[in-house]
Structure 1
Amino acid sequence: MDPTGFMGRSHDKHQLLKPILRAYAIGYLSSTAPRFISSLRQVWRKDLNYQQNRKVLLRALTSTIRLESFSTFCAALVGGSTVFPLVIFRLRELVSHRLGIKPSISESAKFLRLVRFTCAFLSAWLSFELLNRKSVRLQGDDAKSPDNASNWVAKTQQGSKDKEQIRPQFAGRTMDLTLFSLTRAVDLAACIIWARWRRWRRARGCWSMAENLAPALADSGVFAVSAAIVMWAWIYLPERLPKSYERWIGEVAKVDSRLVETLRQARRGVFVYGKDTGEARLLQSMCNDYGWPVEWGDPSKTIPIPCEVVHMSCGPSCEKHAVSRFAQTFKFTCATYLPLQMAFRIRRLNSVSSLRRAISDALRSSAFLASFVGIFYYSICLARTRLGPKVFSRDVVTPMMWDSGLCIGAGCLMCGWSILVESPSKRRELALFVAPRAAATVLPRFYNKQYQYRERIAFAISTAILLTCLQEQPSLVRGVFGRVATSVLK
């Protein structure tokens, strides 16, 4: 007896291969598409002949077809977690039939669940090695950064007292993937706990309005905290962010790099109010470019730096600057989101309602991101010059304390709450998207390979939980990832 219909759906051999082929296709597309787009740009920018263009594009399409590729990893992971449970369950059924044992439906369901989790764990454990067969080679600043690598170690050779500095092997190639799986598994566990709590409370008639609002506020809170961590890293620890992510934030923020560098110098104690440390040249060059008094850029003469410097070319009004930032970002993001929404709904744009929905979603997402930027800058101004000095005297919180981190902290803490502009479903997606990236800024991106077993355990357990739940109760895995993964495992 098969309590889940698992056996009945899988007798066809072609049915067994479908999840594996789907997983391979998704892995191949997700890893090849960025390379192919980059190659198209290369072909477009450079004047190459036909053979050279063909070689560049062919390399982009075939470079991911190898054993240690992401597509092979996806196929092995899904194959191991779907095919092996079927084989084991079938063997148990045959043995039980030979022995004349008829297990109950509940026993079969529990056995199948255990088998699925075990096979998913082993598949994740073994597939992890596919992506980590080669050690990470650090180059440039990554090799010197204490956040990304361990210190060099001393080694005695052949009894000699001379110690040779050698670089250990590093790992971390799959850190983003591990954090993604771990974040999703934690979200799944939270959903299961919350569902049980809700049933228990409603059965006793104790369900409150606050508990009804809690899930939406939890998603918003996760996003706000994660966004605060990412924005703090973007200002003070940019090396902890992926280059593409850092570049995209810079394009949206549109801030003079000299101002950002001055904030970093203030954080490091190099740019100090009331002292001539020789680091006034950055802001003074800004003053020359924007037509301000040169004294504004000198921390020994101007305390604190006027907010107009933060506003750049927008004038002295903090409110006008916030509105201007909102308008600029809204225009920038509309140019991106409107075409994307149209492309996603191209098959359904044959009706007025579909067109209206696409435009509405694009405008709402643009308003969210514009609010994010506007609130970030306005909160900085409120903290450093408008409200902060009125709430706390200069003896308690000095201008140097505001500009060396507190004002940026205020902007980071407040900007993420702009997520409330978005719909509840988008809040959930954005929270689950940003949370792993925030975790990646806290943890070292690269680490000594001798500790890789910790990442491997975290990845295997979290992935096993996700894959088991996707086969048992797919509705509990939220968002686009849950829908895509469920369709792959069908």
Structure 2
Amino acid sequence: MSALLSSQPAQVIARTYSLALLLSLGPALLPILASARTSKHPLLPRLRRVLARDLAPDGFAFALSVAVGGGAGLRQLWRLLDRYLYTHDEKEGGLASKLKSFISFNRLLSPVHKTFISNLFSASVGILLLQAGRRRSRRRAPTVDIPWTLPVGDTAPRGASPTLDLTLLVFVRALDSIVQGWVSSCGAAASDREAVTEEKKRKSRQRQLTAKIDSVVFWLCSARIMYSFFYYPERLPSSYVKWISSLANIDSRLLAAVRGIKEGTWSYRTGTSSPDVRALLTTGATDIGLPPTWGDPHTLPAFGGSGATKIWRELGVQGRDGVAGLPCEIIHRGVCGSSCTANASLRFAKVFTQAIAIYIPAHFIPALLTRPRSLLTASKPLTLLLSAARSSTFLSTFVASFYLTVCTFHTFIPRLLPFLFSPGRISHDFVDGPYGVVFIGSFICGGASIWIEHPKRRGEMALYVIPRAIRAMLSDKWVKKDGVIFRVIERLIFALSLATLLTSAIYRPNALRGLSKWTLAFITKGTEHGFWKRKRLGQSSSVDPTPINTPFLRPTTPASLSRCASQAPLCAPLPLPESDNSAQKQEL
């Protein structure tokens, strides 16, 4: 029994279950415990529902343990079967003689292929359990989640797949591992031909190019997310929408009016026929101490010019002579009056104070877990504080640049191009519409801020926003159908992606980065090997601990076999030629 519990598959299952349970229970229990004194609902029934959901056989922790640890167990059974088949004669009536076709097929498979097939099967079972559990919990009670965490809860809209966010996350990470593995294999091939100095220069240029690509990817994905936040919020997790709203301090009534312009229910030219829609910004103006007429579409000017100046003088609005549209005071929510620059500066400072509280733990916790002794030095805490301040500056610039861009195109561009915004030409319905200030602000804010962040962190941030951008591009009607074809496609994508990640974690860990590398290194090897051990010792191995001849990522060649053989203590089992049966037995 002790031998079974100490086996490698059992350790993988235990580490996966503990980590998955922490990720699942943590976001669900924190809001419940935080509101224990103020909530009208009893604490124990809520705790009981959460524990019953997450500790069930189809809960997130158990399902993920089957998906991850099951592959390790199947691979271990496959090794035992291989050992039996290759160590027993194919005598009449024996098991080996009955499995001749399987033996022939088995000899064509390398250890990488066997690992991938094992992980593919276990991941397929895991996603079935996970979807069954999510649908069961959805029927009972919604899951409370918080942003900037793994999408382990039921964050999808009603009717949509409850595991879609997690599937997209795994898919993006797997795709990134394939790309990074290809880049790494190209570098390994080149190092045999080039001098060490030239190789270092080439890798430096490669890192710079990767950082630029990550920046552009983040730029485009964040633009799509922000655009969807305004016009398609149902395509984003509800907690993510609430977090953006609170961080940017955007009034929900202003968002409803912006969507009304897109749908034609709120217009500067025609007004609105609905009293509720008309009251969106009139009440918003009253709440910040402004006259309700400042937010009434029936009184606001639709076109610029002298007519707009006359209307502004009647309403008592200053600083918008010749410009139509909504007064900036309502967009600012009364912050700094009509000064757009002061509004952006104050929002920068406010977001910075909120972001620093997020990024200090995000920078210090990994160092505390992997190399706690480094925090005792004088330079390391200062470096982490500067990194946290840099990340906070990035997030603050993201929000401030959006506001500054919106105000610039909302007020100053019509002044610079008065011939376009004169009466009878372009109305402010277009300026404040879906292809006006919102589109331009969504596009500029990511590009204006991501270059502030450290190049090494840009990749992780790009991997964070890509799944949400993909989800935002999927039609909500198509996703909510959740038919048989959609389920099959999602399950296939999840199984292939997770199998790719788990196989890469064993044979090509350098193809992983960021959260994927940190998590899978812990799950597959624990804290005493590989990435975790090097981090704790503050060292990095100069030898690539992965086999070069992985057919999963790169074709096998005699040169790569000999190279990996020279690194035998660090290499995983190597796929050898089919004809060398003695070598196959030795490997088994």
TM bucket by the smaller chain? 0.7 to 0.9
Could you tell me whether the CA contact under 8 Å between 1:148 and 1:447 is conserved in 2?
Answer: no
In 1, the alpha carbon distance for the partners of 2:220 and 2:411 equals 24
**Distance change >3 Å, CA 42–CA 283, structure 1 → 2:** closer
Counterpart position of 1:464:
499
In 2, the alpha carbon distance for the partners of 1:321 and 1:226 equals 26
Q: CA deviation at 1:420?
A: 1.7
Percent sequence identity over aligned pairs: 29
Matched, 1:411 2:441: yes
Counterpart position of 1:156:
none
Q: Which moved more, 1:307-316 or 1:73-82?
A: 307-316
In 2, the alpha carbon distance for the partners of 1:434 and 1:173 equals 19
In 1, the alpha carbon distance for the partners of 2:524 and 2:297 equals 61
Q: Render the CA deviation track for 1:270-314: whole Å, top value 9, x for unaligned.
A: 121222324443223333333445443233432222333322322
Counterpart position of 1:438:
469
Counterpart position of 2:29:
36
Q: CA deviation at 1:42?
A: 3.9
Q: CA deviation at 1:29?
A: 1.4
Counterpart position of 1:318:
340
In 1, the alpha carbon distance for the partners of 2:365 and 2:179 equals 34
Q: Which moved more, 1:391-400 or 1:173-182?
A: 391-400
In 1, the alpha carbon distance for the partners of 2:285 and 2:50 equals 46
**Distance change >3 Å, CA 112–CA 341, structure 1 → 2:** closer
> What pairs up with 1:56-135 in 2 under 5 angstroms?
57=47, 60-98=50-88, 111-133=110-132, 135=135
Q: CA deviation at 1:489?
A: 0.9
In 1, the alpha carbon distance for the partners of 2:364 and 2:494 equals 36
Q: Which moved more, 1:395-404 or 1:232-241?
A: 395-404
User: Which of residues 381, 406, 411 in structure 2 aligns to 1:385?
Assistant: 411
**Distance change >3 Å, CA 212–CA 19, structure 1 → 2:** closer
In 2, the alpha carbon distance for the partners of 1:288 and 1:45 equals 30
Q: Which moved more, 1:57-66 or 1:411-420?
A: 57-66
AA in 2 matched with 1:133: A
Give the match's secondary structure for 2:326. Answer: coil
Q: CA deviation at 1:182?
A: 0.8
AA in 2 matched with 1:329: V
**Distance change >3 Å, CA 15–CA 461, structure 1 → 2:** closer
User: Which of residues 374, 381, 384 in structure 2 aligns to 1:355?
Assistant: 381
Could you tell me whether the CA contact under 8 Å between 1:276 and 1:299 is conserved in 2?
Answer: yes
Could you tell me whether the CA contact under 8 Å between 2:228 and 2:472 is conserved in 1?
Answer: yes
What TM-score, normalized to structure 1? 0.81
AA in 2 matched with 1:125: S
**Distance change >3 Å, CA 287–CA 129, structure 1 → 2:** closer
Could you tell me whether the CA contact under 8 Å between 1:365 and 1:422 is conserved in 2?
Answer: yes
**Distance change >3 Å, CA 354–CA 117, structure 1 → 2:** same
Matched, 1:275 2:270: yes
**Distance change >3 Å, CA 12–CA 236, structure 1 → 2:** closer
Q: Render the CA deviation track for 1:230-265: whole Å, top value 9, x for unaligned.
A: 211221222222221111111101122222221111
Give the match's secondary structure for 1:315. Answer: coil
In 1, the alpha carbon distance for the partners of 2:204 and 2:61 equals 46
In 1, the alpha carbon distance for the partners of 2:234 and 2:63 equals 28
Could you tell me whether the CA contact under 8 Å between 1:226 and 1:434 is conserved in 2?
Answer: yes
> What pairs up with 1:68-467 in 2 under 5 angstroms?
68-98=58-88, 111-133=110-132, 135=135, 172-196=161-185, 213-278=208-273, 279-292=277-290, 294-300=292-298, 301-302=300-301, 303-313=324-334, 314-338=336-360, 341=363, 347-348=372-373, 349-387=375-413, 390=416, 393-394=420-421, 398-405=427-434, 406-417=436-447, 418-443=449-474, 444=476, 445-451=479-485, 452-467=487-502
What TM-score, normalized to structure 2? 0.68
**Distance change >3 Å, CA 373–CA 171, structure 1 → 2:** closer
Q: CA deviation at 1:331?
A: 2.0
Q: CA deviation at 1:109?
A: 10
Superposition RMSD in Å: 3.4
In 2, the alpha carbon distance for the partners of 1:171 and 1:57 equals 26
Q: Which moved more, 1:209-218 or 1:335-344?
A: 335-344
Q: How many residues align?
A: 446
Larger-Rg structure: 2
Could you tell me whether the CA contact under 8 Å between 2:67 and 2:124 is conserved in 1?
Answer: no
Give the match's secondary structure for 1:334. Answer: helix
Q: CA deviation at 1:449?
A: 3.1
Q: Render the CA deviation track for 1:68-87: whole Å, top value 9, x for unaligned.
A: 01111121112221121222
Could you tell me whether the CA contact under 8 Å between 1:227 and 1:416 is conserved in 2?
Answer: yes
In 2, the alpha carbon distance for the partners of 1:344 and 1:197 equals 30
Q: CA deviation at 1:364?
A: 1.7
AA in 2 matched with 1:78: V
Q: CA deviation at 1:326?
A: 0.7
Could you tell me whether the CA contact under 8 Å between 2:245 and 2:251 is conserved in 1?
Answer: no
In 1, the alpha carbon distance for the partners of 2:383 and 2:65 equals 36
Give the match's secondary structure for 1:387. Answer: helix
Could you tell me whether the CA contact under 8 Å between 2:75 and 2:115 is conserved in 1?
Answer: yes
Could you tell me whether the CA contact under 8 Å between 1:380 and 1:408 is conserved in 2?
Answer: yes
Give the match's secondary structure for 1:27. Answer: helix
Matched, 1:475 2:510: yes
Q: CA deviation at 1:434?
A: 1.7
Structure 2 residue ranges without an equivalent (≥5): 91-105, 141-155, 302-323, 526-588
Q: Which has the higher contact order (CA 8 A, sep 6+)?
A: 1
Q: CA deviation at 1:472?
A: 0.7
